[in-house]
């Protein structure tokens, strides 16, 4: 219970600090002029990413010799999204899905946890690849005496080596399995990038490449389980990093806020699946 309260506190404190620097009224004014057509496309792209992610989960279960119907994978993925919002961090839903899957398969809990971690790690790797590609298009101002392109490419190579080694040694994935799953992960993250692009259009933001880079970075940071669903963390990251790419912090925070708001549609759909299917409650 204490760790939950601490993470609620982190979310609240991060939002408080953010809106001490950026007046909330400015963000509300920015959001009041949203283009609803672009916003609708952003919501569609976000849910398309959820659909592709559900199919990636099916693939990882197939690696373990288990079959999961597309419909069940889809509903379980959305219910996981519900628990991501209700519980601390942006990976809490993965723990719920692992718990349900070990009850519905012949697998123990630990292999199902490993499936969820491998699933998440593959997606994270592709997220970092796309982030690196965007940063190469518009390199940030770094506080170190290294050319940004060198730092970005070196970092990407290091992350790739660590990911490939970890996936092979710890999860027993072959390179073929990693890149097979990577096809789905690329689709997931491409839909996320499209969602963010549509949001920049909805907000009429210029220099969309910079805002996409900043938001992808914030999404990566928000995966650390220190907040509730990443809320507050993404906004604070945009506040701090917007000057690095020479864009408005107010616009950046507004983008993070609208992304957090449309992300609420995922747990809403998850709640519908949860109440309709009435799956077992997660362990306390």
277's tokens: 């299917």
Instruction: State the pLDDT at residue 92.
Output: 63
The yes-or-no verdict on residue 87 having pLDDT over 70 is no
Q: Which of 44-53, 71-80, 86-95 has the highest mean pLDDT?
A: 44-53
Q: How far apart (Å, rounded) are the C-alpha atoms in residues 18 and 36?
A: 26
Please provide residue 57's backbone torsions phi and psi, each rounded to the nearest 5 degrees.
Answer: -60, -40
Q: How far apart (Å, rounded) are the C-alpha atoms in residues 97 and 282?
A: 9
In angstroms, the Cα distances linking 86 to 68, 141, 183, 232, 270 are 25, 37, 30, 15, 11
Q: How far apart (Å, rounded) are the C-alpha atoms in residues 238 and 189?
A: 19
Which residues are CB-neighbours of 35 under 8 A, at least 6 positions away? 201, 202, 203, 204
Residue 95 or residue 22, greater confidence: 22
Rounded mean pLDDT, 243-258: 93
Instruction: Report the sign of the C-alpha dihedral through residues 194, 234, 200, 245, in that order.
Output: negative
The yes-or-no verdict on residue 252 having pLDDT over 90 is yes
Residue 234 or residue 65, greater confidence: 234
Q: Among 262, 277, 272, which Cα is nearest to 48's?
A: 262
Instruction: State the pLDDT at residue 258.
Output: 96
Q: Among 210, 190, 189, which Cα is nearest to 200's?
A: 210
Q: Among 93, 83, 90, which Cα is nearest to 116's?
A: 93
Confidence of residue 284 (pLDDT cuts 50, 70, 90): very low
The yes-or-no verdict on residue 225 having pLDDT over 90 is no
In percent, how much of the chain has pLDDT > 90? Answer: 52
Q: How far apart (Å, rounded) are the C-alpha atoms in residues 66 and 115?
A: 11
Residue 134 or residue 83, greater confidence: 134
Instruction: State the pLDDT at residue 130.
Output: 95
Q: How far apart (Å, rounded) are the C-alpha atoms in residues 236 and 260?
A: 12
Instruction: State the pLDDT at residue 278.
Output: 52
272's tokens: 């519908």
Which residues are CB-neighbours of 220 under 8 A, at least 6 positions away? 124, 127, 128, 131
Instruction: State the pLDDT at residue 248.
Output: 93
Residue 195 or residue 66, greater confidence: 195
238's tokens: 């945009």
pLDDT digits (tens, 9 = 90+) for 197-217: 999 999 999 899 999 999 999
- Angle, helices 70-86/36-63, rounded to nearest 10 degrees: 110
Q: How far apart (Å, rounded) are the C-alpha atoms in residues 218 and 100?
A: 29
Instruction: State the pLDDT at residue 124.
Output: 94
pLDDT digits (tens, 9 = 90+) for 7-33: 788 899 999 999 999 999 999 999 999
pLDDT digits (tens, 9 = 90+) for 120-151: 899 999 999 999 999 999 888 766 778 888 98
Q: How far apart (Å, rounded) are the C-alpha atoms in residues 195 and 38?
A: 9
The yes-or-no verdict on residue 194 having pLDDT over 90 is yes
Calculate the average pLDDT of the chain: 87
Strand, helix or coil for residue 107? coil
Confidence of residue 101 (pLDDT cuts 50, 70, 90): confident
Instruction: State the pLDDT at residue 266.
Output: 86
In percent, how much of the chain has pLDDT > 70? Answer: 93
């Amino acid at each position: 219970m204490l760790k939950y309260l601490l993470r609620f506190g982190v979310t609240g404190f991060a939002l408080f600090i953010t809106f001490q620097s950026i007046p909330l009224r400015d963000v509300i004014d920015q959001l009041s002029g949203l283009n609803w057509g672009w916003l609708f496309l952003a919501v569609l792209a976000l849910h398309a990413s959820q659909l592709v992610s559900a199919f990636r989960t099916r693939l990882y279960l197939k690696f373990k010799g288990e079959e999961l119907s597309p419909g069940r994978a889809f509903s379980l993925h959305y219910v996981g999204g519900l628990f991501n919002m209700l519980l601390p961090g942006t990976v809490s839903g993965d723990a719920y899905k692992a718990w349900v899957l070990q009850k519905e398969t012949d697998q123990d809990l630990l292999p199902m946890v490993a499936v969820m971690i491998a699933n998440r790690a593959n997606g994270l790797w592709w997220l970092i690849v796309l982030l690196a590609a965007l940063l190469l298009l518009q390199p940030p101002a770094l506080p170190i005496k290294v050319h940004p392109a060198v730092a970005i490419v070196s970092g990407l190579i290091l992350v790739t080596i660590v990911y490939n080694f970890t996936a092979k040694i710890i999860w027993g994935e072959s390179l073929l399995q990693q890149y097979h799953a990577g096809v789905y992960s690329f689709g997931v993250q491409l839909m996320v990038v499209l969602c963010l692009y549509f949001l920049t259009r909805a907000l009429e933001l210029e220099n969309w490449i910079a805002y996409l880079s900043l938001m992808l970075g914030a999404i990566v940071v928000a995966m650390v389980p220190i907040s509730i669903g990443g809320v507050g963390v993404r906004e604070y990251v945009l506040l701090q990093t917007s000057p690095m790419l020479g864009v408005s912090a107010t616009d950046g925070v507004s983008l993070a806020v609208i992304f957090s708001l449309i992300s609420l549609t995922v747990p809403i759909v998850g709640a519908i699946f949860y109440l309709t299917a009435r799956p077992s409650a997660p362990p306390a």
